Amino acid sequence: MKLRNMSIYIYFLFFAGGILSINNSCSKDLETLTGEVVAEEQPSELEEQVSENTSGNQDNTATSENEENEENKEEGDESKVCVSAGGKANEVGLKTWCWGDVEIPSGAETGRESFSDSQLALNIECSANQVVESDGRIKFSLNPTSPSPADWCNNSFNMRAEIRTMPWKINHSPGTEEWFGFTYEFDEAYIPDPTGNWLFFQTHEGTAGKNPLISLQINGIATSKFDTGELVVVNAADESSQLTVHSSNVLPKPGEKLNVVIHIVWGDDDQGLLQVWINGEKIVDDNTRTIFASTMIGGNAKFGIYKHKWRSESGVQNSVVHGISNLTTYMGPLRIITRKPSDSKYLENSFDLVSPE
């Protein structure tokens, strides 16, 4: 496969203007979050930047059960037998969720309810039951107008169906290593949307107005150099107005299931690392900055659908013109490994431990 890596440079004034405009909507969202709801910021709209150029530092140890699971998998014993043994984002070791034995709340009260012993939380806008368990998978579904947005939501349309790691904000210290592995499946009725990008994986450190540090997106920018519907990997960690977008040459088809593995070392230009495999083929292998210089922390992971163009009526109608009025995807069992530089297995190749293959 011939890969196309592309570094995209954005003029500073344009970039700054985009951040300021997003920052206003973020503060509005913060005002609605109370109680156990975890404050979260909306990512800035990366796609305009692409088209231009066509809670802190905890070192908790994971449970002994998780450590034993990791050792057993390394020995090759029942490596693909999935038994839920999750953990919080600040716990080290292997963490696994199989979904069939995990009770997922409806999201009817706030859209931010936690579950799996507060290891994960919903991240939905704007209706209940946009994230449900289905045959041992998580089903993410969005219809922008049905059902009508709940009273607790400030937006007028349904545009986000995600889960995220907890606690928020995790603030991973530089040098923290993470592996993620899961399947991501597109519904049989899936149609690539040429009206804007959408995200199915992102890591966000929670600062108002900031882009996600790392994200996996489906391209929908007609003026870009990428194909409509192509999976792209975006690294927005360089705040000197440089945005790096990696092509995959992968265009998911209706009903297709992708095997996804992501390896991140949170760090600066000298320490950071980003590697991504799709269906066993490495599409990104980059020693690069993965944290903002202004905050120097890694972020929480989020999985599902974030279709930010559906925040507005014009965005919804643009999709309808192309026959797109809903989006449904599925995620299989999720495996995450978190390690600190002091861990004995730090930087050890763990592809096979998290790979869904």
- Do residues 198 and 306 make contact, with C-beta atoms less than 8 angstroms apart? yes
Residue 60: per-residue pLDDT: 53
Domains and CATH numbers, the chain: 5-75+84-348 (2.60.120.200)
DSSP state of 309: G
- By C-alpha distance, which of 174, 338, 347 is closest to 266? 174
Residue 247: per-residue pLDDT: 95
Give the Cα separation of 168 and 164 in Å (integer).
9
Angle at 300 between CA 295 and CA 306, to 5 degrees: 110
Dump the DSSP string for 22-83. HHHHHHHHHTT--TTPPP-PPPP-HHHHHHHT------EEPPHHHHHHHHHHHTTTTTT---
Q: What is the full per-residue pLDDT of the chain (357 aa) written as tens digits?
A: 434 444 443 333 333 333 323 322 232 222 222 222 333 444 444 434 444 333 333 445 444 434 444 444 443 444 457 889 999 999 999 999 999 999 999 999 999 999 999 999 999 999 999 999 999 999 999 999 999 999 999 999 999 999 999 999 999 999 999 999 999 999 999 999 999 999 999 999 998 788 999 999 999 998 889 999 999 999 999 988 678 999 999 999 999 999 999 999 999 999 999 999 999 999 999 999 999 999 999 999 999 999 999 999 999 999 999 999 999 999 999 999 999 999 999 999 999 999 997
pTM of model > 0.75: yes
- By C-alpha distance, which of 196, 231, 236 is closest to 19? 236
Give the Cα separation of 327 and 285 in Å (integer).
30
Residue 12: per-residue pLDDT: 31
What is the widest separation between alpha-carbon atoms in the chain? 55
- By C-alpha distance, which of 350, 329, 126, 355 is closest to 231? 329
Residue 137: per-residue pLDDT: 97
